[in-house]
Amino acid sequence: METAFKVTQMGRWVVAGGAAVGLGALCYYGLGMSNEIGALEKALIWPQYVKDRIHSTYMYFAGSIGLTAVSAVAVSRSPALMRLMTKRSWLAIGATFAAMIGAGALVRSIPYDSSPGAKHLAWMLHSGVMGAVVAPLAFLGGPLLIRAAWYTAGIVGGLSMVAMCAPSEKFLNIGGPLGVGAGFIVASSIGSMFLPPTSALGAGLYSVAVYGGLILFSLFLLYDTQHIIKHAETHPFYGVVKYDPINACLGIYMETLNIFIRVVAMLATGNAKRK
């Protein structure tokens, strides 16, 4: 237990350090101390179609969050679905991953311009599946989830401002390291499901999955926010393949969900220690 507590404390210090760096970056770029031009300055000369693309992308992002919340509430009120989503067998975990990956691949594969109806149905299906995945968090109680939602909104809003104020391609070069880090986080998340959190290894994997995952997905959010801006600016207006705001929003949507899950885990751990 002492080892597990030390590992958890170290994870919290790492997250606190990351928050301090993020706040410093927001002040640095937001006050215009950088010599490079950020997206906010470039927005003044954007053509209207670039503004429309970014606006529609974030509207679909907001819609995805809303659909996920509705799906999570609906699943949490069904005892049969909750029993299904809380099983810890390898079969249940594999089926959950298959449903998430399959729904994501389906919505990405359908063209936005030629099949708008099917595209929107697949988009709603994907949001519904993700809502079912996060539904078991309802066991922790509504007040804790509301707090986590507010904290997540603050984190996502702050990181988005950092990405908007920073030079337009500042975070686009970290995609490779982020992909490697994602592999470690996935492996740690799966391992922590089957190891007791009171053991040194279990506590270590849990801390990597929660605290390391929070930092990793925060960096992913910076990367994808600037990728959305870059894609909206450079995608040909008269191209054969039209700009797809649904596909563009999926990255920041998944990262927001992952940040929310980890904030919930941190708050739940803090409440358990106080009790």
Q: Which residue has the higher pLDDT, 9 or 240?
A: 240
The confidence score (pLDDT) of residue 5 equals 47
Asked, for residue 79, whether it belongs to a domain, the answer is yes
What is the structure's pLDDT at 126? 92
Least confident of 33-37, 70-74, 190-194, 228-232: 33-37
- pLDDT interval class at 125 (50, 70, 90): very high
Domain assignment present for residue 121? The answer is yes
Domain that holds residue 124: 1-270
Q: Is the pLDDT of residue 177 over 80?
A: no
* 254 or 213: which leads in pLDDT: 254
Q: Please name the residues in contact with 76: beta carbons below 8 A apart, sequence gap of 6 or more.
A: 82, 135, 136, 138
Alpha-carbon gap, residue 32 to 157, rounded angstroms: 19
pLDDT in tens, 83-102: 777 776 667 777 878 888 89
Is the residue at 80 inside a domain?
Answer: yes
pLDDT tens-digit map of 32-46: 555 566 666 676 777
Measured CA to CA, the distance from residue 66 to residue 51 in angstroms comes to 23
Domain-located, residue 151: yes
Whose tokens are 């679905």? That residue is 81
Determine the average pLDDT of the residues in 124-133. 90
Helix, strand, coil percent content, the chain, rounded in steps of 5: 80, 0, 15
Task: Tell me the pLDDT band of 179, cut-offs 50, 70 and 90.
Answer: confident
Residue 83 located in a structural domain: yes
Q: Is the pTM of this model over 0.85?
A: no
Decide if pLDDT at 189 tops 80: no
Tens of pLDDT, residue by residue over 214-237, are: 888 888 888 888 888 888 888 887
Q: Which of 113-122, 131-140, 204-213, 254-263 has the lowest mean pLDDT?
A: 204-213
The pLDDT of residue 7 is: 46
Mean pLDDT (the chain) is: 77
Query: For the chain, what percent of residues have pLDDT higher than 90?
Result: 15
Residue 75 in this model has a pLDDT that exceeds 80: yes
What does the alpha-carbon distance between residue 269 and residue 274 come to, in Å, rounded to a whole number? 9
CA–CA dist 107, 77 (Å, integer) = 27
- CA pair distance 210, 225, nearest whole angstrom: 22
Residue 60 pLDDT exceeds 90: yes
Cβ-based neighbours of 38, under 8 Å, separated by 6 or more: 29, 164, 165, 166, 167, 168
At residue 4, the pLDDT reads: 46
The structure tokens 């929660």 sit at 210
pLDDT of residue 1: 47
For CA atoms 266, 272, 273, 275, give the dihedral sign.
positive
Residue 275 included in any domain: no
Number of domains in the chain: 1
The answer to whether 216 and 187 are in contact (CB under 8 A) is no
